Amino acid sequence: MTKIKNNKLLILGCGGHAKVITDIARSQGIKDFSYQDINIEIKTFLGKDVIHEEIKNYNGYFFVALGDNFLREKVTNDFQKANPNAKNATLVHPTSHISKNCTIGVGTVVMPMCVINSSSKIGNGVIINTKSSLDHDNYLMNYSSCAPGVVTGGNVFIGDRSAVAIGVIIKHDIKIGSDTVIGAASYVNKNIPANCLAYGTPVKVIKKRESNEKYL
- Domains belonging to the chain, first-starting first, are 5-88 (3.40.50.20), 96-208 (2.160.10.10)
Q: What is the pLDDT of residue 1?
A: 57
Do the Cβ atoms of 2 and 61 come closer than 8 Å? yes
SS3 79: helix
Q: What is the pLDDT of residue 4?
A: 75
Query: Is residue 175 over pLDDT 60?
Result: yes
- Separation CA 2–CA 82 (nearest Å): 22
Q: Give mean pLDDT, residues 76-80.
A: 98
Q: What is the pLDDT of residue 214?
A: 84
Dihedral of alpha carbons 178, 63, 50, 28, sign: positive
Query: Is residue 80 over pLDDT 90?
Result: yes
Query: Is residue 33 over pLDDT 80?
Result: yes
Q: Give mean pLDDT, residues 179-186.
A: 98
Query: Is residue 216 over pLDDT 80?
Result: no
Q: What is the pLDDT of residue 5?
A: 63
Percent of the chain at pLDDT > 90 equals 94
Q: What is the tens place of the pLDDT at every residue in 109-140?
A: 999 999 999 999 999 999 999 999 999 999 99
- Separation CA 22–CA 14 (nearest Å): 10
Q: What is the mean pLDDT of the chain?
A: 96
